[in-house]
Amino acid sequence: MTTAPTVPASTEPPHPVQSWPDAFAARYRAAGHWRGETFGAWLRERAETHPDRLAVIGGDQRWTYAELDQRASALAAGFLNAGLRQGDRVLVHMPNMPDFIAVAMGLFRAGLIPVYALPAHRITEIGHFARGSGARAYVAAAAHAGFDYTMLARALQEHQPRVEHVWIAEPDAPSGASAGSAPADPFPRLAALYDMGAAVPASVSRGSDVAFLQISGGSTGLSKLIPRTHDDYIYTLRESARICGLDADAVFLGALPIAHNFPMSSPGFLGTLYAGGRVVLAPSPDPESCFALVERERVTVTSLVPPLLLQWLDRAPASGRDLGSLRAIQVGGAKLSAEIARRVRPTLGATLQQVFGMAEGLVNYTRLDDPDELIIHTQGRPISPDDEILILDDEGRPVEPGQAGHLLTRGPYTIRAYHDNPSANARAFTDDGYYRTGDVVRMTPEGYLEVQGRAGDHINRAGEKISAEEIEDHLLSHPRVFDAAVVSVPDEFLGERSCAFVIPKGARPRPAELKRWIRARGIADFKIPDQILFVDAFASTAALKVSRKTLRAQLRARLLEQEPQAGATH
Ligand code: OOB
């Protein structure tokens, strides 16, 4: 007797979607926010209107709009020829290099979905994104800042066999040719795809399709994946470019890693290209290399996090560089102090623009012509008249005007759900679709937001978000750690740094050993605790009844009490 072969349950991971209730979608379309534009189509349109205008500059590459468009098409064809299918997810793990932009545009054109990782991410994070997104391919730079990404690619394929394809970009490889010496790894080179001239349509997507997955700052546990649609994201590009005064003469310097939502789209490199301007990519954000690029390329605008701004302010006067082309310096990602904000115009000769945004959506800007008072003291107001803002007390009631409370928001470019994550969605979104940002803010009489801090337990280290829980889990994996709690400590330079309280199990390990241990687990360097303190116990008798959140708050208070100077040391 024969039995029918058992069909394994489908293991196809879910396709990313993002949808707003019909009435909202209709409203956003009627208002002209969502226009059915797609990335692939607008790039082609720009390339046809001004083919010879410079679009992207980085390393020794200078690409016009026509060249960028051709490269996007060649990559789109190459990815599809290799066997990827429309809707497949592709991890993009690259520093600031022109290939990054060609890859993003090529994936859009092919209807493939980029998943953006930061250059600092390591195998643990990349594995998590690969699993969560069901990625079938990984595109990385060969090496950057002393790290070999081809090793990571090998480890990734070993652990995630679904990642069938890897392409490696060589920095400064001569265009259209593969790099000179034979690579030490088995992976195909991205540059080889540029040689395939196959014709592909400008776009195969609809405006309502998910264009890419961005990663969340990760306030609890590991980062979540954020599906953004062509319609919603292009709306932010169009409006951000307008609010920031970008046009065809704009020259944007990508100093922060452009995989991050801020330099990507607020207005970032995508907003600049959308406006027909020019993008200059800095390989590193350090002031000297950036100042040289500002002078050489006549940069008009850039985006920085507060600690980087501090370095720029310190080094600009003695740099001997002509920074006179700079019109606006955008600062965001973490709270900027008024003291520092005040120094921007006198020192850099440019208007400060504060930017308070999140990869989930909502972005606020101070406007370039706002009075100094608002530019220096607030984090701006929303992009859209249809951004809805709630500021609620702990019980969920609206606060009195001018009082601080929890910021919730919904609108034409704020997501309604994370990708494939019901438990996170239940926590992060209200029944009527508001996103709980986790930020505590107050609103000024002019309708501008002032960020007071975070309600949740994450550390905002120079704009890089670190989840306390994620690092505690890494510490707990060490055989000599009984318990651990990670808290944020104010830091003059970083804004916040991380401190891990550890209860040892038996003999106390050395802090350096614990740091090595965590690093060896393959996570981004910025997540390694800046400081490790050993304690015998966390709290007195009630310890078991204390929530992690309360515990972290107690430890933090204890630290600041014992070391009042903690806020002033590095
Ligand atoms: C940006 O995006 P994410 O997703 O890395 O982090 C979002 C969080 C916010 O919820 C807030 O806690 C913090 O970063 N944040 C700020 C801030 N800008 C962001 N806190 C105080 N002041 C600011 N100006 O960081 C991001 C995305 C788009 C544009 C700008 C920043």
Is residue 366 lining ligand 1, measured as CB closer than 6 Å? Answer: no
Q: Which atom of ligand 1 is nearest to the CA of 380?
A: 24
Is residue 279 lining ligand 1, measured as CB closer than 6 Å? Answer: no
Q: How far apart are CA 259 and CA 516, in angstroms?
A: 27
Residues 45 and 109: beta-carbon distance below 8 Å = no
Average pLDDT for residues 219-226, to the nearest whole number? 84
CA of 331 to the centre of ligand 1 (A): 10
Query: Is the per-residue pLDDT at 196 higher than 80?
Result: no
**417-467 confidence digits (pLDDT tens):** 999 999 999 999 999 999 999 999 999 999 999 999 988 788 999 999 999
Q: How far apart are CA 352 and CA 378, in angstroms?
A: 11
Largest CA distance in the chain: 88
Is residue 244 lining ligand 1, measured as CB closer than 6 Å? Answer: no
Residues 410 and 388: beta-carbon distance below 8 Å = yes
Q: How far apart are CA 227 and CA 17, in angstroms?
A: 7
Average pLDDT for residues 400-428, to the nearest whole number? 97
DSSP state of 51: T
**57-66 confidence digits (pLDDT tens):** 999 999 999 9
Average pLDDT for residues 84-110, to the nearest whole number? 98
Average pLDDT for residues 397-402, to the nearest whole number? 98
- What pLDDT score was predicted for residue 8? 56
Q: Are strands 61-64 and 137-141 parallel, antiparallel or unpaired?
A: unpaired
Q: Give the residue, 3 or 133, on which the prediction is more confident.
A: 133
Closest residue (by CA) to atom 25 of ligand 1? 333
Query: Which residues touch 133 (CB under 8 Å, ≥6 apart)?
Result: 13, 16, 89, 91, 113, 115, 213, 225, 419
Residues of the chain above pLDDT 90, percent:
86
**281-334 confidence digits (pLDDT tens):** 999 999 999 999 999 999 999 999 999 999 999 999 999 999 999 999 999 999
The matching CATH number, chosen from 3.90.76.10, 3.40.50.12710, 3.40.50.980, 3.90.1650.10, for 39-52+62-205 is 3.40.50.980
Superfamily of domain covering 238-454: ANL, N-terminal domain (3.40.50.12780)
**Candidate from 137-151, 187-201, 396-410 with smallest mean pLDDT:** 187-201
Is residue 466 lining ligand 1, measured as CB closer than 6 Å? Answer: no
Q: How far apart are CA 345 and CA 352, in angstroms?
A: 7
Q: What is the torsional sign of CA 492, 493, 498, 499? A: negative
Q: How far apart are CA 256 and CA 309, in angstroms?
A: 11
Give the DSSP H/E element, type plus range, for residue 270.
helix 268-274
HSE of 541 in the Cβ direction (CA atoms, 13 Å)?
A: 0
Q: Which atom of ligand 1 is nearest to the CA of 454?
A: 12
Residues 567 and 490: beta-carbon distance below 8 Å = yes
- What pLDDT score was predicted for residue 538? 86
**Candidate from 123-132, 166-175, 219-228, 358-367 with smallest mean pLDDT:** 166-175
Residues of the chain above pLDDT 70, percent:
93
Domain extents in the chain:
39-52+62-205, 238-454, 458-569
Q: Which atom of ligand 1 is nearest to the CA of 458?
A: 12
DSSP secondary structure letters along 479-507: TTEEEEEEEEEEETTTEEEEEEEEEESSS
**Strand runs (DSSP E) across 240-380, as ranges?**
251-254, 278-281, 301-304, 328-332, 351-358, 361-365
Residues 333 and 305: beta-carbon distance below 8 Å = yes
CA of 538 to the centre of ligand 1 (A): 31
For the chain, the average pLDDT equals 93
Query: Is the per-residue pLDDT at 79 higher than 50?
Result: yes
Q: Decide if 39-52+62-205 and 238-454 have a common fold.
A: yes
What's the token pair of residue 564? 């009042």
Q: Rounded to a whole number, what is the distance in angstroms from the first to the last CA of the chain? A: 75
Is residue 119 lining ligand 1, measured as CB closer than 6 Å? Answer: no
Query: Is the per-residue pLDDT at 1 higher than 50?
Result: no
Is residue 335 lining ligand 1, measured as CB closer than 6 Å? Answer: yes
Closest residue (by CA) to atom 5 of ligand 1? 217
DSSP state of 429: B
pLDDT range class, residue 541, cuts 50, 70, 90: very low
Q: How far apart are CA 383 and CA 385, in angstroms?
A: 7
- CATH 3.30.300.30 applies to domain 458-569: yes
> Best mutation site among 356, 437, 439, 450 for ligand 1, i.e. most ligand atoms within 8 A of its Cβ?
356
Query: Edge to edge, what strands does the sheet with 405-410 contain?
Result: 388-392, 405-410, 435-443, 449-454
Q: Which atom of ligand 1 is nearest to the CA of 437?
A: 10
